[in-house]
Amino acid sequence: MKILLIEDDLDLGNGVRIALADQGFDVIWVRRKEDALHQLHVCVPELVLLDLGLPDGDGMSLMACLRQQHNGIPVIILTARGTLQDRLSGLDAGADDYLVKPFVLAELLARVRALARRSYGFQNEAIELRGLSLYVPTRRVTVNARHIELTASEYALLETLMLRTDRVLTRSFLEERIFGAKENMSNALDVHMGNLRRKIGDSYVRTVRGVGYVIDTVPIQKGAG
Amino acid sequence: MRNVWRHMRTPTFVRRIMVAQMLLLTLLWCLFLTYVLWEDLRSPPILTGSKTYETIFTVVKSMEDHPQERTQVLSALSKAVRENYGGGEDPELSISLIVRKNKEIIYASDGAPAGVINSRYGKIERVESDGRTWTSRTLKSGNADTEVTLITPAGGWNFFIYLNSRGYYVMPLLVCIPFLLFPAWLSIRIAMRPWHKVVNEVSLRTPDDLSPLKAVPKHSELRQMVDAINGFLARVRESTERERVFIADAAHELRTPLAAMRINVEALQSYVSSDRQKELLAGIIRSNSRAARLVNQLLLMMHSEARIDTVMEPLQLTTLIQERMAGLAPLAAERRIELEFYAEEEIWVTGVRERLMSLIDNVIENAVKYSPGGGRVEVELRSLNQSTQLRVSDAGPGIPVELRERVFDRFFRDPNQMQSGSGLGLAIVKAVAQQHNSSVSLSTSAEGGLMVSVNFPNHKSA
């Protein structure tokens, strides 16, 4: 998978390039806005990592350029400015995700994979986790190759969680995703979650009490140690 | 008694103004008095008037045939004039009378300077006689044979005798002063009232509040002072703002090299095989995380203290806490700590979203950090009568009672605490809480760890 990295800092750029290359990504690294615009045409990346603080021209204007000419390419913004306002303006400009420096490699990889999956992976790839498989195009769910019949709400719940593994999704986020903005009973989410767990087994979805739910890629052993 | 004395000794403006006023009043009074008396002395009214002269002319004329009685009457008259003048019977201090008829002295007061003779009639003149100076005036009678001369001593020191005899000029001043003091004191107090308003506002200021004074008085003197204070406040504000911007910029600038360091070390990790090397790299990563955290905390601190007036808006606190807890869940999962949130309903508060976020993050992060592995962090949000309370409890070592005030200071850390930390977390929590008119308190949780309680004022729905 081709990633265009636009980062002016030598050490950071090089580090990210090597780290991503080690994970099997094909990284093109440029340090200036003109080169970035050139590379966008020449090699057509599948994902762009953009540093907002470029020396020759604001990263935000490059973002606008990207959105005008290459609408489909997902963009992750890297920035040293981390206030809510900065974040919102970055997302408003059309970025798909936002990472504040200094970031952890695992976080960068998770974001890159999630975006890649969202825009390209659905057609050919199943999301697979400890025997639980989810085929997005056909909405088919299997546990240890056994087909599971889910209602629309249950499927939506599972898909939402599976596409964002390791992130705790708050109750309000899930409710809005699954039931939409319409009024709903306060415990409807718990009812659906109870049904889902009964069907796929207890071991996948972890509850964070009072906060929400998460599917961990690596299960957490409670009380161990 | 001593207190009263000390009180008297401390200078006050009111007293200063009063003393100045009194002194000036007395001085003016004295000057005026001196002028009046001096003028009187130079040309005494008894000499300038003609009634005394005419009385004597009449006596001389009507008693021409009885020289004995005439002398008696003139002597009595002289005594009366002297008494009125106030100098006693001493001619050197008092007025004297000389009556001449056909240039012959027919009567002279006791000890009158006989050598005093006016060169012109009707004019007040200063005459030297017997080695002294006299003021005298002589008038002639209508048939021009009788001359009457009135003589007063003119020496400079006579003024004081004169003054002594005119005590009634000084009395009113002495009587007036007590009556003047009280109105003066009262009027000054009333006039100084706007001053107290300004003093009040300044004294109620917290050190964080550097906004200009709001009570701008109409009085020009006071306004000058308020303007000067406001100017000073503006300069202080500017310099702290500059300092803040500098720290924020420095923190920002540090972020990129920190990120570069981290990513390079993490990339390197997959190339090393020996445990020793891995351990060393892990050490670098830990230090890097600490530095990154410190930079973040510094930025939060600078933001939470920023004087830029941010808009307070109604916020769903329950949802906000849920979101922040979801964000902190990976950190908790890493330490195998169970996060739990208890809230009955959506609770609204008025606040600045971003700052409340840093408050919540810091309180919960602290709890997670100091909890033992596998422990539990309980977050509870509940609505009380007067306020909304957020309570975060952990099962960690807690904070000794004697340190519970100090941990809110910047960079203060519990000396017995082994966990690494920036020492800014609770300082940020306190700064944010203060901005939201909230209070933070520390106590011992049910599990023996620390419980942080933040009391938000109830949201007033419009």
Contact A66, A111 (CB under 8 A): no
Over its C-alpha atoms, chain A yields an Rg (Å, rounded) of 20
Measuring CA to CA, which residue among A101, A194, A110, A114 is closest to residue A153?
Answer: A194
Segment B66-84 shows an average pLDDT of 85
- Tell me which of B132 and A170 has the higher pLDDT: A170
Q: Residue A128: phi, psi to the nearest 5? A: -125, 135
Q: What per-residue confidence (pLDDT) applies to B422?
A: 72
- pLDDT of B453 reads 94
The partner residues of A213 in beta bridges, in order of sequence, read A169, A207
Report if residue A220 sits inside a domain. no
Range B295-301 average pLDDT:
82
Of A28-32, B25-29, B115-119, B148-152, where does mean pLDDT reach its minimum? B115-119
**Res B364: pLDDT:** 93
Q: How many residues does chain A have?
A: 225
Return d(Cα A212, Cα B341) in angstroms, integer: 10
What φ, ψ does residue B153 adopt, rounded to 5°?
A: -70, 145
In Å, how far are A100, B252, B306, B307, B426 from B244, measured between CA atoms? 21, 12, 8, 10, 19
Looking at the structure, do residues A157 and A206 belong to the same domain, yes or no? yes
In a domain, A222, yes or no: no
Q: Are the C-beta atoms of B262 and A102 separated by less than 8 Å? A: yes
Q: Which of B104, B373, B263, B261 lies closest to A224 in space, CA to CA?
A: B373
Clarify whether residues A78 and A113 are in a common domain. Answer: yes
Provide the pLDDT for residue A223.
45
Please give the helix or strand (H or E) that residue A36 lies within, else none. helix A33-43
* B260–A11 C-beta distance less than 8 A: yes
Print the domain residue range for A206: 127-215
Alpha-carbon distance values, A75 to A8, A21, A37, A165 (Å): 17, 18, 14, 20
**Together in a domain, A116 and A136:** no
DSSP conformation class of A220: P
Please report residues of B whose CB lies closer than 8 A to that of A88: none
Output the six-digit token pair for B4: 């009263």
Residue B266 to residue A105, Cβ atoms within 8 A: yes
Which residue in the set B252, B270, B288 is minimally distant from A81, CB to CB? Answer: B252
- Whether A10 maps to a domain, the answer reads yes
The closest CB to that of A102, out of B262, B373, B379, belongs to B262
Q: Which of A121, A144, A166 is the last residue of a domain?
A: A121
Token pair 């990889």: residue: A109
**Cβ distance of A170 and B267 shorter than 8 Å:** no
Closest CA to A92 of A67, A70, A111: A67
Pick from A99, A121, A143: which residue ends a domain? A121
**Whether residue A155 is found in the same domain as residue A89:** no
Does residue A143 share a domain with residue A113?
no
Give, as one character, the DSSP assignment of residue B402. Answer: G
Report pLDDT digits (tens) over B95-111: 888 888 888 888 888 87
Yes or no: say if B116 and B154 are a contact pair by the CB < 8 Å rule.
no
Closest-CA distance of chain A to residue B366, Å: 18
Q: Which of B259, B326, B373 sits opposite A211 (nearest CB)?
A: B326
A6 plus A117 within the same structural domain:
yes
Q: What's the rounded Cα separation, in Å, for the pair B443 and B462? A: 34
pLDDT of residue A225: 36
By C-alpha distance, the chain A residue nearest B354 is A84
The helix or strand, by DSSP H or E, that contains position B225, with its residue range, turns out to be helix B220-269
CATH of the domain at A182: 1.10.10.10
Whether A216 sits inside 8 A of B333 (CB atoms) is yes
Which pLDDT does position B191 carry in this prediction? 82
Q: How far is B319 from chain A (nearest CA, A)?
A: 7
Q: How many domains does chain A have?
A: 2
Tell me: do A106 and A141 sit in the same domain. Answer: no
Residue of B nearest to A86 (CA): B354
pLDDT digits (tens, 9 = 90+) for B210-234: 778 887 778 888 888 888 988 998 9
Q: Which of A86, A121, A156 is the last residue of a domain?
A: A121
pLDDT at A43: 82
Average pLDDT over residues B393-420: 83
Q: What is residue A224's predicted lDDT score, i.e. its pLDDT?
A: 39
One domain for residues A97 and A115: yes
Cβ separation A211–B299 shorter than 8 A: no
Given a contact cutoff of 8 angstroms between Cβ atoms, the answer to whether B406 and B400 are in contact is no
User: How many angstroms away from the CA of B439 is the closest CA of chain A?
Assistant: 24
Which CATH number belongs to the domain containing residue A27 in this structure? 3.40.50.2300
Give the model's pLDDT for residue A67: 83
Given a contact cutoff of 8 angstroms between Cβ atoms, the answer to whether A57 and A66 are in contact is no
What band does B165 get if pLDDT is binned at 50, 70 and 90?
low
Residues A114 and A157 in one domain: no
A168 and B329 within 8 Å at the Cβ level: the answer is yes
Based on its alpha-carbon atoms, the radius of gyration of chain B, rounded to whole angstroms, reads 49
Identify how many contiguous H helices and E strands chain B contains and give both numbers.
13, 12
Is residue A225 in a domain?
Answer: no
Backbone angles phi, psi at B32, to 5 degrees: -60, -45
3-class DSSP assignment, residue B450:
strand
Task: List, for residues B366-391, the tens digit of each pLDDT value.
Answer: 899 888 888 899 999 998 888 899 99
Which alpha helices (DSSP H) does B12-150 contain, by range?
Answer: 13-42, 45-48, 51-62, 67-85
Distance of residue B376 Cα from the nearest chain A Cα, in angstroms: 10
Please count the CA atoms within 13 angstroms of the CA of B161 that sit on its side-chain side: 18
Mean pLDDT to the nearest integer, B336-347: 88
Residues B126, B154 contacting (CB under 8 angstroms): yes
Q: Is A146 inside any structural domain? A: yes
CB contact under 8 A, A211 and B339: yes
**Which residue would you say has higher pLDDT here, B167 or B154?**
B154
Which of the residues in chain A have pLDDT under 70?
55-57, 71, 82, 119-125, 181-185, 221-225
**Mean pLDDT within B245-273:** 88
Residues B410-450 pLDDT 10s: 888 777 777 767 778 888 898 889 888 899 999 998 888 89
Alpha-helical (H) ranges within B347-461 are: 353-370, 425-435
Taking CA atoms, B148 is separated from A191, B46, B60, B100, in Å, by 136, 13, 10, 6
Decide if A71 is inside a domain.
yes
The stretches of B306-352 forming alpha helices (DSSP H) are: 317-334
Query: What's the pLDDT at A27?
Result: 93
Residue A169 carries which side chain, given as an amino acid letter?
Answer: L
Q: How many Cα neighbours within 13 Å face the side chain of B97? A: 25
Spell out the residues 6+ positions from residue B101 whose beta carbon is closer than 8 angstroms to its own.
B60, B145, B146, B147
- A–B CB contacts, 8 A cutoff, strictly below: 126
At A97, give phi and psi (nearest 5°).
-155, 175
> Is residue A115 located within the same domain as residue A144?
no
Determine the Cα–Cα distance for residues B17 and B23; give it in Å rounded to an integer: 10
Angle (deg, nearest 10), helices B13-42 and B171-191:
150
Quick check: is A150 in a domain? yes
- Whether A177 is covered by a domain: the verdict is yes
Q: Are residues A44 and A116 in the same domain?
A: yes
What per-residue confidence (pLDDT) applies to B108?
85
On whether both A199 and A114 belong to a single domain, the answer is no
